[in-house]
Amino acid sequence: MTAFTRRAWLAQAAGLACAPQALAQLPARAEDAHKAFLSELERRTFDWFWDIAHPVTGLTPDRWPSPSFCSVAAVGFALSSYVIGSQRGYITRTQARDRTLKVLNFLAGLPQGAQRRGVAGHKGFFYHFLDMETGHRFAQCELSTVDTALLLMGALHSQAYFDGTNPPEMQIRRQVQFLVERVDWTWAQVRGDAISHGWLPESGPLAYDWRGYNEAMMVYLLALSSPTHPVGPGAWAAWTSTYDRSWKTVYGQQHLHFAPLFGHQFNHCWVDYRGLKDAELLRLDPTGQLDYFENTRRATYAQQAYARANPEGWAGYDGTVFGVTASDGPADVVREFGGRPRRFISYAGRGLAEHDDGTLAPYGAGSSLPFAPEIVIPALVAIRERHPHTWGRYGFFDAFNPSFTFTDVKLQHGRIEPGKGWVDTDYLGIDQGPLLMALANHQGELVWKLMREHTMLRAGLRRAGFEGGWLT
């Protein structure tokens, strides 16, 4: 793994690794204000994807406004954002179509191969990061199976939406099919049935495989549903083989646990898991009350309980404001806080009792909007009201840390707001994306409705052994 692997910290964890409450009755004015706030947040978050894409290649940067390479996962979220923007009327269908086709044509035309330079990927997979101008591998980053999966999910969303008979929409569907069919998932099975994190041309396959429970469920669904290079049914068994170790009661919530909240949320961006169950989930909960949607709801409530307990004594944590997840942070430095030395970090996969340095990410709470709106909406409103410096042109900045008030430190990103602590000044594509999709699914199931009809997604779920819900 290299320094450019955003979630390298996940490697070892991946290998080892309450009834819903109704939204409290609000006065009409307050309820209307909340709806207006969510609508504004959705529009601002969409505008980020629409405004900052490369004008020629259509690629989406990893972050902005800091100069950045492209993140292929962010491109996947961008493709979905164009569909959402068209559905909402932020842009026209023609505008969304033309931007989508520009991106897909560029990606499909990029060279692939085993060489270290001058290519975008190998065996149909893409490198984690690409040069914004050329689309070629950035620096020494890894070929990433999960980031390719995020790209493909956004592409499949585009394929489902652009169903017209005009030549541009037909071309969109063809290009998506080309990208999907080119991926050789069996090549990524280097240690039995499990799928590897990725590959480096300098040294070969990465040392770890994707095993549950984390954000890589979509990797296995895509691999199982591939029309050209599908993996066998043993792959799902490999994925679920560590479920027993993840099945825990954490802060009063029994669920498949993964400390950073994004690992729960990403899987639901494109897939509506309500009512869908596989054999492993039924084994863990024979009562049949648990599905993956409910699992993420419980994980969200565990986050809230953790913030209320605030075992590390950080500023700003309480029963309303929560959101400890993968995000930017102030700096890699040790400083005294609360009477003892504390280690602060820059970008990290934060989670319950893992790498918690007092940094909160608004998207961490917001991306759970479909699962627990009764606690997520108050959290977002409170962040906006208590920490107005977290809000900018494109909605919430990536993260903030009320405990980090030190002015003698060279910051990785962001600035110190007097009297408020550190706040990021960047937006990250892979964090803006799940927030936008949570808003869209909460307010009309915009993504889920389309994806429920996609034959490839249905096939992957059935091959994994899912039954019930909308599959029946």
Q: Is residue 161 part of a domain?
A: yes
Domain of residue 261, CATH code: 1.50.10.140
Tokens of 465: 């052994």
Q: Is residue 29 part of a domain?
A: no
Residues 6+ apart with CB under 8 A from 38: 369, 377, 380, 439, 442, 443
Residues 6+ apart with CB under 8 A from 65: 425, 426
Picking from 17, 396, 369, 371, the residue whose alpha carbon sits closest to that of residue 208 is: 17
Q: Is residue 8 part of a domain?
A: no
Q: Is residue 330 part of a domain?
A: yes
Question: Could you give the C-alpha distances from 123 to 117, 198, 299, 457, in angstroms and in order?
Answer: 15, 11, 35, 21
Q: What is the pLDDT of residue 31?
A: 84
Picking from 58, 48, 47, the residue whose alpha carbon sits closest to that of residue 91 is: 47
The secondary structure of residue 267, as a DSSP letter, is G
Q: What is the pLDDT of residue 326?
A: 98
Q: What is the pLDDT of residue 333?
A: 98
The tens place of each residue's pLDDT in the chain, 472 residues long, gives 333 444 443 333 333 333 334 344 556 777 889 999 999 999 999 999 999 999 999 999 999 999 999 999 999 999 999 999 999 999 999 999 999 999 999 999 999 999 999 999 999 999 999 999 999 999 999 999 999 999 999 999 999 999 999 999 999 999 999 999 999 999 999 999 999 999 999 999 999 999 989 999 999 999 999 999 999 999 999 999 999 999 999 999 999 999 999 999 999 999 999 999 999 999 999 988 999 999 999 999 999 999 999 999 999 999 999 999 999 999 999 999 999 999 999 999 999 989 999 999 999 999 999 999 999 999 999 999 999 999 999 999 999 999 999 999 999 999 999 999 999 999 999 999 999 999 999 999 999 999 999 999 999 999 999 999 999 8
Residue that has been written with the tokens 């594509």 in this structure:
429
Q: What is the pLDDT of residue 57?
A: 98
Q: Is residue 20 part of a domain?
A: no
417 vs 251: CA distance, rounded Å: 32
Picking from 136, 141, 132, the residue whose alpha carbon sits closest to that of residue 74 is: 132
Main-chain dihedrals φ then ψ at residue 378, nearest 5 degrees: -60, -35
Q: Is residue 4 part of a domain?
A: no
Q: Is residue 147 part of a domain?
A: yes
Q: Is residue 287 part of a domain?
A: yes
Q: What is the pLDDT of residue 13?
A: 34
Q: What is the pLDDT of residue 11?
A: 34
Q: Which domain holds residue 233?
A: 34-465
370 vs 331: CA distance, rounded Å: 32
Q: What's the pTM?
A: 0.94
Number of domains within the chain: 1
